[in-house]
């Protein structure tokens, strides 16, 4: 049987805070999705290299002004953080905290790929939580930054156990730390409780590194060990934060991530060996570029897809996510077959506050996205097009003026989310083709914008966008399609297709 070869990174795209489990021969992964909806994507794989999106934990998880971009700010950089995925007795559990809501959410389902998730909500922030489903029918959540706490949950994981309170479990190192321990992944193995964290020291290599604590007793004294401190040769950005998983052949692997600038935080898979019951990640202290496995070969599935918008029902492919909660009354892929129709609703003066921006990830080392839209349904003040989305965004779009006049505009964030028009070109056609080229090679992090009247002869517009990953969004750049009104609602734009290409 042919066996799979893992090449790091396994996905050169923003898939942060991954938590991986195995059920039988199948691996499942959940990751952070913050302000993208639906959220908490569930991916599956048979070999830890080739992943496919199969479900989301929720379509939306709150329905308030911030989540609907009605408060003037949104939930950028908040939403769902660092989800934990676990399985026990036929039930899958996902938990996460939301900074904007100051709440802890636990979801459960019996069918991780197709099922409906039921949820419980517990007050209070539980930073970077990890569920620990012990073998004595007792369940816990372990969480925190620097000061790591533990709290016991009910047997069905719907609430805090009666009398359960925050209890300090660990006090992480304080001296010379940029970031104290956080990002817990908890396991009980070989008679030990293992707690995996990251930390970021101000001394030595001065980069994020993977730490492990272990104890024979859950509430006992823990030993500490640095188990990985390596950057895969990339700008001293440590590969760290994540957990471990075993294979059917009892081999062990760690799934961690690395900050990769504008494209986001990208996952890597590393072999794990055991020495004196300590997990040792990587090979000779480093992150291997290539890992040979005993796992089966599988057909790679694309993380980002092209789309002809040819759907029988009004639901787009799982690769798409909305920026914040969508208004489902104002979009359709069935109203005009073969097209994505985006209608305008609330007025906005920026793409950052526009509802119904439909997005996918970008991928390194380079990628390109192209679309075509028809302008006949647009009203004066409408803006429709394509965005390179982060706080430092860039757009190429059609701006509808008075008396049927149109311009192709290239805009950037000129500060505080306000759009600055870099270049505007008069457009007299009925269909406009738009394109963005992304280059993430070796942190070049540049995006170029183009338009065309026929889809063949492309004209550059505006200027190069120098993309920056900023913590106010805490997300890698995404490609988005949008249509919003600045003067009056009621217009629409029809997108005929979305064509995507990743370039190595």
Nearest to 279 by CA among 249, 243, 247: 243
> Which of 50, 52, 182, 494 does the annotation list as catalytic?
182
DSSP code string of 31-48: ---BTEESEEEEEEESSS
Does residue 428 come out as left (phi exceeding 0), alpha (psi in the -120 to 50 range) or beta? alpha
Q: Is the dihedral of CA 227, 230, 231, 232 positive or negative?
A: negative
CA angle (56 as vertex; 71, 30 as ends), nearest 5: 100
- 173 membership: H or E segment, kind and range: none
Question: Residue 380 is encoded by which pair of tokens?
Answer: 């004066």
The answer to whether 297 and 41 have CB atoms below 8 angstroms apart is: no
Task: Please give the structure tokens belonging to residue 394.
Answer: 């860039």
In sequence order, the β-bridge partners of residue 423 are 410
On the 0-12 / 13-18 / 19+ scale of CB atoms within 10 A, 359 is: buried
Classify residue 65 as exposed, middle or buried by CB count within 10 Å of its CB (0-12, 13-18, 19+): exposed
DSSP 230: -
Task: Assess whether 17 carries a catalytic annotation.
Answer: yes
Report yes or no: 39 and 29 within 8 Å, Cβ to Cβ: no
Here the tokens at position 183 are 């990002």
From 350, 346, 387, select the one nearest 482 (Cα to Cα).
387
DSSP character for 346?
S
User: Given 14, 17, 50, 370, which residue is catalytic?
Assistant: 17
Distance CA 433, CA 230 (A): 44
Concatenate the DSSP letters of all residues of 286-299 into one string.
Answer: B--SEEEEEEEP--
**Angstrom distance (rounded) from CA 277 to CA 269:** 20
Q: Is 374 a catalytic residue?
A: no
Distance CA 410, CA 399 (A): 10
Residues designated catalytic: 17, 182
């Amino acid at each position: 049987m042919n066996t799979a070869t893992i090449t790091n990174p396994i996905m050169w795209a923003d898939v942060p805070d991954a938590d991986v489990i195995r059920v039988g021969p199948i691996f499942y992964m959940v990751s952070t999705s913050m302000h993208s909806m639906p959220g908490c994507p569930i991916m599956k794989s048979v070999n830890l290299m080739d992943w496919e999106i199969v479900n989301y934990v929720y379509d939306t998880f709150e329905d308030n002004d911030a989540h609907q971009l009605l408060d003037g700010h949104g939930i950028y950089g908040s939403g769902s953080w660092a989800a934990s995925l676990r399985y026990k007795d036929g039930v899958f559990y996902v938990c996460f905290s939301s900074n904007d809501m100051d709440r802890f959410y636990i979801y459960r389902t019996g069918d991780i790929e197709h099922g409906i998730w039921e949820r419980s909500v517990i007050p209070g922030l539980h930073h970077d939580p990890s569920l620990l489903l012990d073998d004595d029918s007792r369940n816990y959540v372990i969480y925190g930054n620097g000061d790591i706490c533990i709290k016991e949950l009910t047997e069905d994981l719907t609430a805090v156990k009666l009398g359960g309170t925050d209890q300090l479990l660990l006090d992480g190192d304080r001296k010379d730390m940029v970031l104290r321990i956080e990002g817990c992944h908890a396991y009980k193995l070989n008679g030990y409780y293992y707690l995996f964290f990251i930390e970021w020291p101000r001394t030595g290599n001065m980069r994020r590194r993977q730490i492990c604590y272990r104890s024979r007793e859950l509430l006992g004294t823990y030993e500490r060990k640095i188990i990985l401190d390596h950057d895969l040769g990339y700008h001293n950005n440590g590969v760290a934060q994540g957990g471990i998983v075993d294979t059917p052949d009892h081999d062990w692997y760690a799934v961690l991530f690395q900050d990769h600038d504008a494209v986001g935080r990208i996952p890597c898979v590393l072999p794990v060996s055991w020495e004196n019951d300590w997990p040792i990640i990587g090979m000779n202290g480093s992150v291997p570029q290539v890992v040979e496995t005993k796992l089966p070969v599988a057909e790679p599935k694309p993380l980002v897809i092209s789309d002809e918008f040819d759907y029988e029902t009004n639901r787009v492919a799982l690769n798409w996510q909305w920026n914040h909660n969508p208004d489902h009354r104002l979009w359709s892929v069935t109203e005009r077959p073969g097209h994505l129709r985006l209608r305008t609703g609330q007025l906005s003066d920026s793409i950052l506050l526009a509802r119904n921006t439909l997005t996918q990830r970008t991928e390194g080392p380079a990628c390109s996205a192209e679309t075509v839209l028809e302008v006949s349904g647009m009203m004066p003040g409408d803006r429709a097009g394509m965005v390179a989305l982060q706080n430092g965004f860039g757009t190429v779009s059609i701006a509808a003026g008075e008396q049927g006049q149109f311009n192709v505009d290239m805009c950037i964030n000129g500060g505080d989310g306000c759009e600055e028009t870099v270049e505007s070109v008069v457009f007299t056609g009925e269909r406009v083709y738009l394109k963005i080229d992304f280059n993430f090679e070796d942190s070049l992090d540049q995006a170029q914008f183009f338009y065309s009247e026929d889809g063949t002869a492309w004209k550059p517009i505006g200027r190069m966008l120098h993309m920056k990953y900023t913590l106010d969004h805490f997300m890698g750049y995404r490609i988005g399609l949008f249509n919003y009104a600045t003067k009056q609602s009621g217009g629409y734009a029809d997108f005929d297709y979305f064509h995507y290409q990743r370039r190595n």
